[in-house]
């Protein structure tokens, strides 16, 4: 005898006739659950950058530990996200999605009560595993629940809600941190529990189970090799600034590079690889992904270290600093549609290349501000972040188009997954490498004076005025180095896109002889 859930996916049911597993009356629950699950990841990522100085002060975390609080999550997410997406095909999207959300919120609770940085880092890694299953499942379950003619509107609602969450999360989080003090950073992780439980309830009680679409094996060996390779690279880059860690830095980086080549060889040998390396033979695909790596490296480095500078270096409040994420989210939400249509007309080359140059100008502007010690947030830093948001809004949609149109239709899912992973790996390496650069410049500038707090460390209230002035100047110099390097990487991203991505070389449609009259 069939259960209620099984009857909804019968081949003669209305849902199956429309090419979906979900009846029309229940699709809204899928959409709400997907929006709530996406909010978990977006809130967690953006607010944590604002909360990092408070977290460091409360737990006594070093800069290297702060880097790993971010990177433990980024490591497991970036290395496992392709395997997490395949799990939805292998075991059914609803089952995999619920599992990812449950693991994410369980790890979030453990993070909320972590007594020291080491335990927090461990549970952040587990949180990343949950996110690797949850993040690809969010969009995939919407696509599978809605028929093609309704899918665009549903994804649009999901994207708009995600952008709103990303924009408002840091602003609200900043106000809470300013109002209630350093210890309230734990609430950032605890808020995941009610959001996650509502999402799980809707999926299990209101949404029918879908059937697995593929029986392909999960490439767990490839996922493990990728985790080890990127983990060793991140460890080696981070260890450069850690006390006593310098001697381990070079061996770790060499071991990471060797394992990366082992991973590539392993993937070529696999029957069902996590990454189809053959796609990188396509010039446009390889170029778009290389541009993605450099661009998201630059973006992640600035979004991680700029709040640290503003809060710990300039002593601005978290409530004020929370607004730096607002222009990025608002610009992408408002402009992605029109920019996507523009990209469809002229091709993605010009939007990506010119947008990357706009981002480069914004980061170069940040470098100039800090180099000259100009501490004007609303008339200096914020307008430059708004300019960066406009540049990113010009890139996001065309970059997705460039990746998806560079491959055959059957490979678009794999291509999108690879590009997502590349952007996250770029962020992982950026936080590790740029933290070491910032710490090195900071130490050289201060001369490692006795009693001097480390880079990004909130100073004690009784710090002598001359030490405090030296600390602020050194913090500015450290961030200047980060912003200058990332500006150059954005220029490199622009050049790569210009020479590899198809499209017109100007923003205006090319005129034909007839149109010239």
| Domain ranges across the chain | 22-206, 220-273, 278-504
pLDDT score at 1? 38
Are domains 22-206 and 278-504 of this chain identical in fold?
yes
- Given this structure, which CATH class describes domain 22-206? mainly alpha
The pair of structure tokens assigned to 341 is 């249509």
Cβ contact 274:82 at 8 Å: yes
- The C-alpha atoms of residue 316 and residue 332 are separated, in whole angstroms, by 26
Q: In a structure prediction context, what are the per-residue pLDDT tens digits for the chain, which is 517 residues long?
A: 334 343 344 444 444 545 678 888 889 999 999 999 988 877 777 788 899 999 999 999 999 999 999 999 999 999 998 888 888 888 888 999 999 999 999 999 999 999 999 999 999 999 999 999 998 888 888 888 888 788 778 887 887 787 778 778 888 889 989 998 888 999 889 889 999 999 999 999 999 988 887 666 788 899 999 999 999 999 999 988 765 556 678 899 999 999 999 999 999 988 888 888 999 999 999 999 999 999 999 999 999 999 999 999 999 999 999 999 899 888 988 888 888 889 888 999 999 999 999 999 999 999 999 999 999 999 999 999 999 999 999 998 899 889 988 988 778 778 888 998 999 999 999 999 999 999 999 999 988 777 889 899 888 777 888 899 999 999 999 999 999 999 999 999 999 999 999 988 777 766 544 444 4
- Kindly compute the dihedral angle of the four CA atoms of residues 10, 13, 17, 22, in this order, to the nearest 10 degrees: -80
**Would you state the pLDDT for residue 18?**
56
CATH code assigned to 278-504: 1.20.1250.20
Q: What is the pLDDT of residue 201?
A: 96
HEC string for 131-169:
HHHHHHHHHHHHHHHCCHHHHHHHHHHHHHHHHHHHHHH
Q: What is the pLDDT of residue 243?
A: 54
The pLDDT tens digits of the residues spanning 393-438 come to: 999 889 988 998 898 877 877 888 899 899 999 999 999 999 999 9
Q: How many CA atoms lie within 13 A of 45 on its CB side?
A: 23
What is the model's pLDDT at position 517? 42
**pLDDT reported for residue 15:** 45
Tell me phi and psi for residue 212, to 5 degrees: -55, 140
Spatial separation of the C-alpha atoms in residues 55 and 61, rounded to whole Å: 8
Please tell me the predicted confidence (pLDDT) of residue 511.
54
Which distant-in-sequence residues (6+ apart) come within 8 Å of 251 by Cβ?
236
């Amino acid at each position: 005898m069939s259960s209620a859930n099984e009857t909804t996916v019968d081949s003669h049911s209305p849902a199956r006739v429309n090419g979906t597993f979900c009846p029309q009356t229940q699709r809204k629950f899928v959409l709400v659950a997907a929006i709530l699950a996406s909010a978990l990841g977006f809130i967690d990522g953006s607010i944590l950058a604002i909360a990092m100085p408070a977290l460091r002060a409360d737990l006594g975390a070093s800069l290297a530990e702060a880097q790993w609080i971010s990177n433990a999550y980024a490591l497991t997410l970036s290395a496992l996200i392709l395997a997490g997406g395949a799990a939805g095909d292998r075991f059914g999207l609803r089952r995999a999605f619920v599992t990812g959300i449950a693991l994410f919120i369980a790890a979030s609770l453990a993070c909320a009560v972590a007594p020291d940085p080491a335990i927090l880092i461990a549970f952040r890694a587990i949180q990343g595993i949950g996110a690797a299953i949850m993040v690809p499942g969010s969009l995939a379950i919407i696509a599978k629940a809605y028929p093609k003619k309704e899918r665009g509107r549903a994804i649009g609602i999901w994207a708009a809600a995600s952008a709103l969450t990303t924009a408002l999360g840091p602003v609200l989080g900043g106000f809470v941190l300013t109002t209630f003090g350093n210890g309230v950073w734990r609430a950032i992780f605890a808020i995941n529990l009610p959001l996650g439980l509502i999402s799980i309830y809707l999926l299990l009680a209101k949404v029918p189970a879908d059937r697995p679409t593929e029986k392909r094996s999960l490439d767990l060996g490839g996922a493990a090799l990728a985790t080890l390779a990127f983990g060793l690279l991140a460890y080696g880059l981070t260890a450069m600034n850690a006390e006593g860690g310098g001697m381990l830095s070079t061996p770790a980086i060499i071991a990471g590079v060797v394992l990366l080549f082992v991973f590539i060889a392993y993937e070529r040998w696999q029957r069902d690889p996590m990454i189809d390396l053959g796609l990188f033979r396509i010039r446009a695909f390889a170029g778009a992904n290389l541009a993605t790596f450099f661009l998201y490296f630059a973006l992640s480095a600035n979004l991680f270290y700029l709040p640290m500078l503003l809060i710990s270096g300039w002593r601005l409040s978290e409530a004020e600093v929370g607004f730096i994420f607002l222009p990025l989210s608002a610009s992408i939400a408002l402009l992605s549609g029109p920019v996507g249509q523009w990209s469809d007309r002229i091709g993605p080359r010009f939007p990506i290349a010119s947008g990357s140059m706009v981002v480069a100008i914004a980061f170069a502007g940040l470098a100039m501000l800090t180099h000259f010690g100009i501490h004007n947030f609303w008339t200096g830093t914020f307008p430059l972040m708004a300019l960066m948001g406009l540049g990113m809004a010009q890139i996001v949609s065309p970059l997705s188009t460039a990746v998806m149109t560079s491959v055959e239709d059957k490979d678009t899912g794999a291509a999108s997954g690879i590009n997502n992973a590349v952007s996250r790996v770029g962020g992982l390496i950026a936080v590790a490498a740029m933290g070491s650069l910032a710490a090195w410049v900071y130490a050289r500038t201060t001369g490692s004076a006795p009693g001097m707090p480390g880079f990004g460390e909130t100073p004690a209230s009784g710090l002598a005025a001359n030490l405090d002035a030296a600390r602020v100047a050194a913090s500015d110099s450290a961030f200047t180095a980060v912003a200058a390097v990332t500006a150059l990487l954005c220029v490199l991203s622009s050049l790569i896109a210009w020479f590899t991505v198809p499209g017109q070389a100007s923003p205006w449609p090319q005129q034909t002889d007839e149109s010239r009259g």
